């Protein structure tokens, strides 16, 4: 078992990770690790600003490969809130399970990162005075017992009408979709921030694919900052008659609200270009029985990263449509040519008539936006202020946004 972690959010985890690394046939490595003050978030922030140029570059990849036979890729991180286990806020995510020739491609990507110059064995940057036996005992205590209850059984059937994946694997009957799939990832040394900006990145290849669209593009991205260049590309698509639909998080339900403040600067231009724009909202999601049951009292936040092109190509992975994914983080993705999968996603997520969202539209003056939702009685509700957020919150975020450049988000 090889575990490769980006080191940004591992504060306080060194004892657990060191214990895991003492298990037979287990190895842990860290991408672009912190060297000083590893144990505490505060001291890590000091190290971060002292070594900002290096530590600002992170690995955002999400990838799971089993026995060289199966692979899972998408946007999901490994934390409670990505498996609907948080009582405060959970993420709505998407990934694909793959077999066939694309799996060696993904395994090769993992190996390239595992052996890269920006990845270090855990033991070279972290140590513990405890013996391996003591580390393992503490690991068992921390990861078992009443503090770590078993998750609830998965819904059956799921959104696609299929039973739990574990049952499908055990029975040997999985409803595979045969399709052409290709894996792609940024170079791990993109994180070095040295030399000219690389010409081949996942962001640029995605832009090239989108530019070839003939009829429609549907984009799902929790963090969406198109920038002036992105708006120009979208405008060029619209001038060719390509329908463009974008779904992202609302301000109130984003875990990175500063991103939304910067995204807000482009909303009017997008709408003027004829983009269909949606913002995901917990309040709206819970009007659907399925999400009301899954989320319970917790907020719901979009985290899936997905693009459908002409209902023929499906692009998914870890990449958001923002400057950080394009320039600062490394990303991995899969492009799949399959009308069957594209239409299944359209059907499962109601992309022809997206619900659980606010539809963002221009006000009659054509210079400001409004949010339209369907009320409980079927009538449209129209809001002219950011939904579910206070004026104080919006002013605070606007103030902070002056100090955080767009290219860092």
Active-site residue list: 60, 62, 67, 303, 305, 310
Residue 301 DSSP SS3 = strand
- Helices and strands per DSSP (H, E), number in the chain: 15, 18
DSSP string spanning 281-292? -HHHHTTSHHHH
Closest C-alpha to 268, from 162, 359, 149, 360: 360
Separation of alpha carbons 3 and 5, rounded Å: 6
Separation of alpha carbons 301 and 306, rounded Å: 15
Phi, psi torsion values for 59, nearest 5 degrees: -95, 115
Using left for φ > 0, alpha for ψ between -120 and 50, and beta otherwise, residue 193 falls in left
* Sheet with 313-317, edge to edge strand ranges: 180-185, 332-337, 313-317, 306-309, 216-220, 243-249, 276-280, 357-362, 369-374, 380-383
Residue 241 CA to chain centroid, in angstroms?
29
C-beta of residue 154 within 8 angstroms of C-beta of residue 167: no
> Encoding tokens for residue 155?
């819904």
Q: H or E segment at 89?
A: strand 89-92
Neighbours of 31 (CB within 10 A): 23
DSSP string spanning 152-220? PPPPSS-TTS---HHHHHHHT-------EEEEEE--GGGGG--SSPPS--HHHHHHHHHHT-SSEEEEE
Separation of alpha carbons 230 and 248, rounded Å: 15
Using left for φ > 0, alpha for ψ between -120 and 50, and beta otherwise, residue 254 falls in beta
**Is residue 342 reached through a cis peptide bond, with omega within 30 degrees of 0 on the bond before it?**
no
């Amino acid at each position: 078992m090889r575990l490769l972690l980006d080191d940004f959010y591992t504060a306080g985890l060194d004892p657990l990770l060191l214990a895991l690394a003492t298990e037979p046939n287990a190895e842990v490595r860290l991408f672009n690790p912190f060297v000083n003050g590893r144990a505490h978030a505060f001291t890590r922030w000091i190290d971060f600003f002292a070594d900002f140029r290096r530590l600002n570059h992170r690995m955002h990849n999400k990838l799971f490969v089993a026995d060289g036979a199966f692979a899972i890729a998408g946007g999901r991180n490994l934390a409670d809130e990505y498996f609907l286990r948080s009582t405060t806020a959970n993420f709505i995510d998407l990934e694909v399970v793959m077999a066939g020739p694309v799996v060696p491609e993904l395994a090769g990507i993992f190996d390239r990162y595992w052996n890269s110059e920006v990845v270090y064995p855990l033991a070279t940057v972290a140590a513990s005075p405890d013996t391996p036996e003591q580390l393992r005992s503490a690991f068992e205590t921390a990861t078992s017992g009443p503090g770590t209850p078993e998750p609830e059984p998965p819904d059956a059937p799921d959104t696609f009408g299929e039973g739990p994946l574990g049952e499908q694997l055990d029975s040997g009957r999985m409803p595979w979709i045969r399709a052409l799939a290709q894996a792609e990832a940024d170079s791990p040394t993109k994180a070095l921030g040295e030399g000219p900006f690389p010409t081949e990145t996942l962001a640029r290849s995605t832009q090239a694919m989108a530019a070839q669209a003939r009829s429609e593009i549907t984009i799902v991205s929790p963090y969406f900052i198109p920038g002036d260049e992105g708006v120009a590309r979208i405008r060029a698509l619209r001038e060719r008659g390509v329908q463009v639909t974008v779904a992202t998080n609302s301000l109130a339900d984003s875990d990175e609200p500063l991103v939304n403040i910067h995204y807000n600067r482009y909303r009017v231009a997008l709408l003027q270009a004829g983009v269909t724009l949606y913002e995901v909202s917990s309040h709206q999601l819970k009007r659907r029985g399925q999400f009301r049951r899954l989320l319970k009292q917790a907020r719901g936040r979009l985290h899936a990263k997905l693009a459908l092109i002409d209902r023929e190509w499906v692009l998914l992975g870890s990449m958001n449509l923002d400057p950080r994914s394009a320039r600062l983080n490394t990303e991995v993705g899969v492009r799949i040519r399959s009308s069957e999968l594209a239409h299944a996603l359209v059907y499962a997520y109601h992309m022809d008539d997206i619900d659980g969202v606010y539809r963002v539209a221009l006000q009659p003056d054509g210079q400001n936006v409004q949010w339209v939702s369907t009320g409980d009685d079927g009538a449209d509700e129209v809001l002219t202020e950011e939904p579910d957020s206070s004026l104080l919150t919006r002013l605070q975020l606007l103030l902070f946004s002056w100090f955080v450049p767009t290219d860092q988000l």
